[in-house]
Structures are given as C-alpha cells and as structure tokens.
Chain A
Amino acid sequence: MAEVLLENVVKNFGKIKALRGIHIEVKDGEFLVLLGPTGAGKTTTLRIVSGLEEPDEGNVYIDGVLMNGVAPRDRNCAFVFQNYILYPHMTVYDNLAFPLRSRMWRVEEGEIRKRIERVSSILKIQHLLKRRPDRLSGGEQQRVALGRAMVRNPRVFLMDEPLSNLDAKLREEMRVELKSLQKNLHATFFFVTHDHVEAMTLGDRVVVLNQGLVMQVGSPEEVYARPHNLFVARFIGAPEINLLEGEMDAGFVRCRSLRVSWKIEDFPFLRGISKIPEKVFLGVRPEDILLGVGSERGEVYLIEDLGVDKVVRLRAGEVLLRVRISQEAPVRVGESVSYDLRREKVIFFDPMTERILT
C-alpha cells in the first residue's frame, strides 16, 4: 500500500485548462474521494496519477518517489475505468489473468488460478469466469473490472466513477462492498465521483474539485457542515442549501427577502468574527429550518415526498425556502405555518470573495 502526493499539478489540453495547480495528498490506507461536477478535472487527476497522462507542471509522488516520466506499467497502480474497458475477445478468466501474465516475471498458472478463485469468490463472479464481457450485465462487468484490479497487489486503486453505470439498487450494494473491500485490504483508494452521496458515504476524506482547482479538503462531515465557499455549499447536499442575502444593521442581521431581522448575538458563528462585511450570504441547510415553531410565518407551496422524509417548498417573504421535514409532519399545501432557523447551524459567506466567514 502506498501514499500519493500531487504537488501543484497543472494540465492543459490545448486551450482547455483541465488542472490549474492542484495539491492533493492521499494517505496510506485511506479512502479518498475526489468530488466535482463534470469537467472539474477529476478524471485527468486520476490519469496523471496512473501515468496515462503526464502533468504539464508540478510533481507526482507515490510513496515519496517522484513519478514524473515513469511509464504506467512501472507505477503499479490499478485503474477501474468508468466504462470498465474489459478485453472484449477474452473470457472473464483471461481478463482477470491478464495483469498476472503480462509481467516479465510471469506468475505461475497454478498461482494465477488460485488468485482468480479467491478474488472471484469475494466479488461473487465465479459463475461468470468462462463468459465473454459482452455477455455480462453492467454490474457484472463492473465487478470483473474491479477483480482485474484486485488480482495483483497494486499500490493504489484508482477508480473513475465505477458505479455511475449501475442502477440505483446495485450502486448502493456496490458502495457497501467497496467500502468493506477497502477496509479488508487496508488499501489506498483514490475514488472519483460526481455524486455527493457516494462521496459522503464512501470517503474517509473528500476533495472537492471545480474547474481544475481544489475547493476544499476535509471529512464528509466537515465539507457538509462547514463548506469553505459557495460552490461547495451548493454542490454538496440535496436538496440544495438555502442561500439568503443579509445585511448588517446596528446589531441585527436583516434579511430583506424574508422580511425578517435577527440579532447578531443569536448566531454563534458570527460572534467570533471580528470584521463582518456589510452584506453577507446566509447558508441554511434544508434540515436546519424548523416548522411549527418560532414567530415567522410562511405558506406551504409544494411538498415533495421522498419516502423517508419530505421536502417542503415554503413561500416566505419573496423567496421559496427548501425545508426538510419528517414523513409524519402534518403539513398541507396552501397552509400557513410558522418557521424558525436553527441559528447555531447557519453559515455565513462573504458575497465578494464567496468564501465562508470565519
């Protein structure tokens, strides 16, 4: 197992700036998730670690050894591609054996058989070994691709959205399997996804990437509760965070659109800040708005039933707030209800820098 370090890595494809100086550290035995929207540079980052792509600037280290210019075959990284890329003309068995037969010091066929049996029983693909990839379902192909990464002992597992082609149920199963696999192998996983649920459930740490820049690094809880900037706040969490404009006014935070003012002292996060700008953004997660308490009132505009809980669109002042409430809560469309913010949870952003106020 190994640690990976990316140091000020820059990568351009013609005029497109894929990576604009990123710094990422993957610790030994860690499950690191790289999260970001399409075009953020996630796949490019993985390809640079694997050696399929060379950085234009900056350095890549694996276990402290500089990897710039080292061929992929000398890096010993496993890569699970988004569309799996199994060898179409070989059986599943031969696909799994490929990385063991390809080396100069070839693994003995008996040993290969043993390893494939072990891996295929972990992944439950023993019954598929004689089939060709085109006769497999997406989930089966995905497990074969995973198996191909597991048969040898790679230093790092690089995974490029491996679950994105699976249906919701299978994806959930595979999430659990991946996580336990990583725990059992004590392996270093570098996992790319655009799905924040995947990132939150899988990652020991999450790196949020946008337009080739690292936005935030932290545990899933940190990234969710204390997003460093507006982008992270918006990107993580569904339904999306409520962002409200606020003005500082003689000891009060006035929210024009809601037609409400709160005392500054009510917000614990604001108390510690020495210099508060005139204008701020208030970030309120949907579950941090409580219904049926407080003095402000709003009108229930729409109810989305998600099964476990409900999301209410509450018309308050001039805006529609997203509010997450429990399944049992008795609300009806058109009803007028009182609401309140959990003020200890409200996050403040500087509208100029789009950064969190600390």
Chain B
Amino acid sequence: MDGKAKAMHQKALGEYRLKLYFIGPTLLVLIIMNIFPLIWSLGLSFTNYSSLTSKQISFVGFANYSRILRDPFIWKYFQTTARFVIVAVGIEFLLGFGLALLLKEQFKGWGLVTTLILVPMMLSPVVVGLFWTFIMDANFGVLNFLISLFGLKKVLWLTNPHIALYSVALVDIWMWTPFVMLISLTGLLAIPKSLYEAADIDMASWWFKFRKITLPLVSPLLVLAVLFRVIDAFKMFDLVFIMTGGGPGDVTETVSMSLYRLAFNKFKTGESCAMAYIILILIIALSNLLIRWINRTKAA
C-alpha cells in the first residue's frame, strides 16, 4: 500500500469512526430502552415469572399464550377495543377530512381558526381525561347543564354501561380529529391549484373535481392518517384509565387496560408479556394490511 492509498484508508476509517460517535448514543439508548426489553419480555412470556413473588421461575412453553387465547374475557375486550376503534377513528376521519376541506380555502382569520382547532391535539391525554371527567360528571358537569338548558334529562355519561364506551370515544374524537384534519389539510394543500383550473376549463363540476382530482391525490395521506389513528386507538389506555378505569363493570375494558391489570394488579408478569406479544402481532398485521392497501391504491 503506497502512502496515498494509506492516507485515504485512514481518512475513510476516520469518517467511519465519526459516524459511530454520532449514532452511538442513540443506538445505546435504543438498545437499553427498546430492544433489550423487547427480547427480555419475549423470554418472560414463556415463563411463569411474577414480579411480586420471588418463587422459582420455570419455563412453561406456550402455556401463557394458550391460556390467554382461550380466555373468553380477552375476546370480549378485543371486541370492546374494536368497537372503540371503529367508532372513534371513523368519526375522526369524517370530521377531520371535512374540516380540512373547509379550511382548504383561505379566509380572514384562517391562521387563528386553524391554530385553535389544533389545540386539543397538543394537550396531555391525562389532562384531557381529567377535565372531561369533570365535564361529563353526572351531577355537576357542564355537559349535563347544557343539556338541561334544552329540557333534556341527565345523562350518566361515564356510569351508564350503554354509553360509557362512546363517551370515552367522544373524548378521543375531540382530541384527535385535529390530527386527521392536519394531515388531510397538508395533503389537500399539496394539490396544485392549476389542476383545478385545468378541470374548470374542462367543464368539471365540483363533485367531479372532488372525485377525480381531490380524492385520488389526497388518499395516500388519508390512509396514513387513518393508519396512525387505528394503531393509536387500538392501544387506548390513558383516557380509559383516567375516565372510567375500565368500568362500569368491564364495558370500557380495552385490551391495553386489561394488559395493565394483568401486569400491575395481578402481577402475572409472564402471562402479561405473552398478551403484549399477541397485541403486538395483531397491530403489526393490521398495519401491514393497511400499508398493502395504500400501495395497491398507489399502483392502480
């Protein structure tokens, strides 16, 4: 190796080292906080370990998984979660996209209105859960007061088993519709105005333009927004935990809530790890389906 090549080699090595210095800390944090727990919990999911008792840990194979999959309550919780996801994300999508269509056109005070609409999204879910608990309180809540102004009867927002899940969904909608709106709006504003002008010249009606230009061009972002919301709503924990604690009875018991109970009330750590993995696999499957659907609409 002559001197020049050696110098080049050293320089390349130096650059490589520099890259390591930059990436290293992030990698370290990721390994400690994410990757290690992921692998560790996978191991635990095959044991009877409980973080409360110090009894001998023994390998139990797929016993945890089979117990969870045979538990009729778990399937009920999955149903509850699914109902929550469909209602909340469905309405968030309709409202969010509708708002985005309205906000697509500039008007006086556009900036202020848009910012105000985005506020709920920026709040902490715990804070949101807390003040909505007050708003929805059956006796001194503002919501029932407003309803009474119209001469309607009190509604037991969080204690009526037929209503409680939808009350939580309502709060989720209040909080996350702005998110769907924001992403839809980004997509809508990215469509060049000139396309609409060309369509005007081509004598297209509003509806025709919406169907043939707006929808196809904004749909990848719409699907993305829905994907985010479905994954997030599937994991719903904070609002339920604060507002109903899974009650009344177990009507608002989502899978995350039930997972929490299993891990930190019953301290069946091994079993809870298995359940976490089942949820993880379901979410990955669900998002893969959605991503595949995006790619298919793109290809078409």
* Residues of the B chain whose Cβ atoms lie less than 8 Å from the Cβ of A99: 202-204
B interface secondary structure, majority: helix
Stretch in B41-49, B127-135, B147-155, B210-218 with 4+ CB within 8 Å of A: B210-218
Contact B197 A85 (CB under 8 A): yes
Q: A52-B197, A85-B198, A87-B195 are in contact. Are A98 and B217 (CB under 8 A)?
A: no
Q: Which residues of B contact A87 (CB under 8 A)?
A: 195, 198-199, 212-213
Q: Is A242 an interface residue (CB 8 A)?
A: no
Kindly state whether residue B200 has any CB partner on chain A within 8 Å: yes
B106 in contact (CB, < 8 A): no
Question: Cα distance A287–B105 when bound, in Å?
Answer: 56
What B residues does A219 contact at CB under 8 A? none
A102-B203, A102-B205 known; A79-B216 Cβ under 8 A: no
Distance (Å) between the CB of B293 and the closest chain A CB? 17
Q: Tell me the residues in window 66-106 of chain A with beta carbons closer than 8 Å to chain B beta carbons.
A: 71-74, 76-79, 81, 83, 85-90, 98-99, 101-104
Please give the distance in Å from A97's CB to the nearest CB on chain B.
Answer: 10
A253 CA to B204 CA, complexed, in Å: 63
- Which residues of A are found within 8 Å of B198, using beta-carbon distances? 79, 81, 85-87
Which of B192, B203, B216, B217 sits near A76, CB closer than 8 Å? B203
What residues of chain A lie closer than 8 Å to B195, measured between beta carbons? Answer: 85, 87-88
- Complex contacts, B199 vs chain A, CB 8 Å: 87, 98, 102
Determine how close the nearest CB of chain B comes to the CB of A307; give it in whole angstroms: 38
The verdict on A73 contacting B204 (CB below 8 Å), with A98-B199, A102-B199 known, is yes
A77, A88, A101: the one contacting B201 at CB < 8 Å is A77
The answer to whether residues A78 and B208 also contact, given A85-B194, A85-B195 and a CB cut-off of 8 A, is no
Mostly helix, strand, loop or mixed at chain A's interface? loop
Q: Give 1 or 0 for each of B211-251: 1 = CB within 8 Å of chain A CB.
A: 01100110000000000000000000000000000000000
Residues in B162-216 with C-beta less than 8 Å from chain A: 192, 194-195, 197-205, 208, 212-213, 216
Q: Flag if B202 contacts A50 (CB, 8 Å).
A: no
Which residues in A have their C-beta under 8 angstroms from that of B216? 89
Q: Which residues of A contact B201 (CB under 8 A)?
A: 50, 52, 72-73, 77-79
Please measure, in the bound complex, the distance between the C-alpha atom of A50 and the C-alpha atom of B203, giving whole angstroms.
11
A86 to B194, CA, bound (A): 10
Q: Does A148 contact B (CB under 8 A)?
A: yes
Complex contacts, B208 vs chain A, CB 8 Å: 101-102
Q: Would you give the shortest CB distance from A243 to chain B, in whole angstroms?
A: 40
Contacts of A102 in B (CB 8 A): 199, 202-205, 208, 212
In whole angstroms, what is the CA distance A81 to B200 when docked? 13
Contact of A52 among B200, B202, B217 (CB under 8 A): B200
Q: How far is the CB of B219 from chain A (nearest CB, A)?
A: 10
- CA A148 – CA B198 in complex, angstroms? 10
Q: List, in ascending order, chain B residues with CB within 8 A of A76's CB.
A: 203
- The reply to whether B205 and A104 form a contact with Cβ atoms under 8 Å apart is yes
Complex alpha-carbon distance, A99 and B204, angstroms: 7
- In the complex, the answer to whether B194 meets A73 with C-beta atoms within 8 Å is no
Contact B203 A103 (CB under 8 A): yes
| Residue in A closest to B192 when the chains form the complex, CB atoms | A85
Tell me the complex Cα distance, A353–B11, Å. Answer: 72
How many Å lie between the Cα of A196 and that of B201 in the bound state? Answer: 27
The smallest C-beta distance from B299 to any residue of chain A, in angstroms, reads 12
A78: B residues at CB distance < 8 A: 201
Q: Name, among B199, B202, B204, the residue most crowded by chain A CB atoms within 10 Å (CB to CB).
A: B202
Closest to A89 in B: B216
Contact A98:B202 (CB < 8 A) given known A81-B194, A87-B195, A89-B217: yes
Instruction: Give the complex CA separation of A228 and B110 in angstroms.
Output: 50
Q: Which of A50, A51, A98, A101 has the most CB of B within 10 A?
A: A98
Instruction: Give the Cβ gap from B40 to chain A, nearest Cβ, in Å.
Output: 47
Most A-side CB within 10 Å, residue of B197, B198, B201, B217:
B201
Chain B residue nearest in CB terms to A71: B200
Q: Which residues of A contact B192 (CB under 8 A)?
A: 85
What distance in Å separates the Cβ of B49 from its nearest Cβ neighbour in chain A? 54
On chain B, the residues within 8 Å of A89 by CB distance are 216-217
CB distance from B19 to the nearest CB of A (A): 35
Give A73's nearest chain B residue, CB to CB: B203
B213 / chain A contacts, CB cutoff of 8 Å: 87
Mask of A98-131 contacts with B, CB within 8 angstroms, 1/0: 1101111000000000000000000000000000
Give the nearest-CB partner of B201 in chain A. A79
Complex Cα distance A51/B216, Å? 26
How far apart sit A103 and B205, CA to CA, in the bound complex (Å)?
7
CB distance from A43 to the nearest CB of B (A): 12
Please name all residues of chain B whose beta carbon is closer than 8 Å to the beta carbon of A74 when the two chains form the complex.
203
A83 to B203, CA, bound (A): 19
| B212 cross-chain contacts in A, Cβ below 8 A | 87, 90, 98, 102
Q: Find chain B residues with CB under 8 A from A86 CB.
A: 198
List chain B residues, Cβ under 8 A from A101: 208
Going nearest first, the 3 A-B pairs with the smallest beta carbon separation are: A102-B204, A99-B202, A72-B200
- 21 A-B pairs in the complex with CB atoms less than 8 angstroms apart: A52-B200, A71-B200, A73-B201, A73-B204, A76-B203, A77-B201, A78-B201, A79-B198, A79-B201, A83-B194, A85-B195, A85-B198, A87-B198, A87-B213, A88-B195, A90-B212, A102-B199, A102-B203, A102-B208, A103-B203, A148-B202
Given A76-B203, A77-B201, 8 extra CB contacts under 8 A: A52-B201, A72-B201, A74-B203, A83-B194, A88-B217, A98-B202, A102-B202, A104-B205
